């Protein structure tokens, strides 16, 4: 259990760690935050943040180890009704399984302060309906979910918007709500371990207002949610090729250049069509997987440890099948997926060194390997030429395209 002195030390270390990373360029921040830090004393800013901390913060820091079970979270609702600026958390617990939670950290600095963000937005069903794809709202709208707003910091006097955003970044790091390699390294060792996949933050708070930085953060968020979905055996859509193609196969597309195949016997038995939904789960066994995805993977290699399981409910009975492929490309794919699952790939994916035995999953290197769509080659000779008049069928006429040589003219017209 931490006390107030422990919490102050943790917050102090986190605050200066974030500011140092911004100054040295190892952590991206929007221009207005960088400009604020260059114009204001950082010790004064720290004093404002420290004075804004509420008792609820220490309670949640100690309660995260038990997934907030046993805490009277309803008692914090009143503080979340303030119209002051500050930082808040939305905690979503599931009545079917109290060990599973989702947590979102946000900051409020506009009209109506925290009340405007919590009650007028997050807890308002009409507002949630406008953004149904938002991960936090999908969790809140789950039939077994209970949502609890908690105010963590409250600024009694008006402050520059950079201060709540910096404080929000600190809380994101403390509670592990944004799955980011920098915050993982910065998070204080004295804090209780957290499951970073339980976080519901989509972007780094420090990139608020910068569309380019926010876009990069959104891509990282989507990658992390795709990983979480696969680790929990979540739903994925099946893709099937167009009829008439040579060597047709059915697959789940992870990215443009990564496809996980499903054998044709399973496709027929499960009656899968384009757009059908199945469940897919990654399974790691360090001693070697008995159903390794890559059939040609050397023993004791990373690829040999990965299994990929598909499942689907058929007439009330769950059917399962392991996806398996042979070939060098399957080994490269399995190696990269293992790296991704085990946390070896950080958020700087564009500069990640994949190696020859790894298939680039995402980033600039992966984009360069996506095969362009095949274009239909036009044969020289006859073509349809439209007049400048209205394109009615009567005015469409066949004409001989201008040949570059006699060989391009059909023999019948020579």
**pLDDT tens-place string over residues 280-323:** 888 899 999 999 999 999 988 999 999 999 999 888 888 999 99
Q: What is the pLDDT of residue 366?
A: 64
Asked which of 195-209, 327-341, 357-371 is least confident by mean pLDDT, the reply is 357-371
- Structure tokens given for 173: 């790091």
- Structure tokens given for 122: 């997050």
Mean pLDDT (the chain, rounded): 81
- 3-state SS assignment for residue 114: helix
Kindly state the average pLDDT of the residues 81-99: 86
Give rounded-to-5 percent helix, strand, coil for the chain: 40, 20, 40
DSSP structure class, residue 242: P
Based on the number of CB atoms within 10 Å of its own CB, is 116 exposed (0-12), middle (13-18) or buried (19 or more)? middle
Is the pLDDT at 85 greater than 90? The verdict is yes
Neighbours of 148 (CB within 10 A): 20
**Across the strands, what pairs with 250?**
262
DSSP structure class, residue 187: S
- 3-state SS assignment for residue 214: helix
Burial 121-143 (b: 16+ CB within 10 A, else e): bbbeeeebeeeeebbbbbbbeee
The answer to whether the CB of 198 falls within 8 A of the CB of 98 is no
The answer to whether the CB of 85 falls within 8 A of the CB of 111 is no
How far is the C-alpha of 210 from the C-alpha of 275, rounded, in Å? 35
- Structure tokens given for 211: 């569309």
How far is the C-alpha of 84 from the C-alpha of 48, rounded, in Å? 14
Q: What is the pLDDT of residue 372?
A: 53
Q: Within 13 Å of residue 354, how many CA atoms lie on the same side as its CB? A: 21
- Which of residues 111 and 223 earns the better pLDDT score? 111
- Structure tokens given for 242: 């167009």
- Which of residues 172 and 238 earns the better pLDDT score? 172
How far is the C-alpha of 327 from the C-alpha of 321, rounded, in Å? 20
The answer to whether the CB of 133 falls within 8 A of the CB of 181 is no
Highest mean pLDDT among 244-248, 262-266, 293-297, 345-349: 293-297
How far is the C-alpha of 368 from the C-alpha of 361, rounded, in Å? 11
Highest mean pLDDT among 38-42, 358-362, 372-376: 38-42
Please tell me the pTM assigned to this model.
0.60
Is the pLDDT at 384 greater than 50? The verdict is no
Strands 235-237 and 250-255: unpaired
Kindly state the average pLDDT of the residues 334-344: 86
For residue 310, give the nearest of 388, 250, 243, 383 by alpha carbon.
250
% of the chain at pLDDT higher than 70: 78
- Structure tokens given for 407: 């060989």
């Amino acid at each position: 259990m931490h006390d107030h002195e422990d919490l102050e030390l943790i917050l102090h270390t986190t605050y200066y760690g974030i500011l140092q990373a911004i100054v040295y360029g190892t952590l991206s921040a929007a221009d207005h935050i960088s400009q604020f830090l260059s114009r204001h004393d950082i010790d004064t800013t720290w004093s404002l943040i420290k004075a804004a901390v509420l008792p609820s913060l220490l309670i949640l820091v100690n309660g995260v180890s038990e997934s907030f079970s046993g805490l009277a979270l309803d008692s914090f609702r009143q503080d979340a009704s303030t119209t002051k600026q500050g930082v808040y958390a939305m905690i979503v617990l599931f009545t079917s399984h109290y060990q599973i939670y989702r947590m979102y950290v946000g900051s409020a600095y506009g009209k109506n302060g925290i009340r405007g963000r919590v009650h007028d937005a997050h807890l308002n069903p009409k507002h949630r309906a406008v953004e149904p794809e938002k991960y936090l709202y999908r969790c809140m709208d789950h039939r077994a979910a209970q949502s609890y707003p908690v105010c963590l910091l409250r600024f009694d006097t008006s402050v520059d918007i950079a201060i709540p955003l910096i404080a929000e970044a600190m809380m994101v790091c403390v509670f592990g709500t944004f799955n980011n390699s920098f915050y993982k390294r910065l998070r204080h060792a004295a804090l209780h371990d957290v499951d970073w996949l339980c976080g519901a933050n989509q972007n780094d708070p420090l990139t608020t207002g910068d569309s380019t930085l926010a876009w990069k953060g959104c891509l990282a968020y989507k990658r992390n949610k795709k990983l979480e979905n696969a680790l929990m055996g979540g739903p994925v859509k099946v893709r099937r090729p167009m009829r008439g193609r040579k060597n047709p196969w059915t697959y789940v597309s992870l990215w443009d250049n990564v496809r996980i195949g499903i054998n044709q016997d399973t496709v027929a038995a499960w009656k899968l069509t384009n757009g059908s939904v199945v469940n897919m789960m990654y399974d790691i066994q360090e001693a070697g997987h008995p159903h390794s995805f890559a059939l040609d993977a050397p023993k004791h290699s990373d690829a040999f440890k990965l299994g990929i399981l598909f499942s689907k409910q058929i007439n009330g009975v769950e059917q399962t099948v392991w996806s398996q492929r042979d070939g060098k490309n399957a080994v490269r794919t399995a190696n990269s997926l293992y790296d991704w699952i085990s946390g070896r790939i950080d958020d700087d994916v564009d500069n990640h060194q994949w190696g020859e035995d790894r298939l680039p999953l995402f980033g600039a290197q992966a984009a360069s390997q996506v095969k362009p769509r095949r274009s239909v080659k036009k044969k020289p000779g006859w073509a349809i030429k439209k007049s400048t008049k209205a394109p009615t069928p009567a005015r469409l006429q066949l004409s001989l395209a201008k040949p570059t040589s006699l060989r391009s003219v059909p023999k019948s017209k020579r």
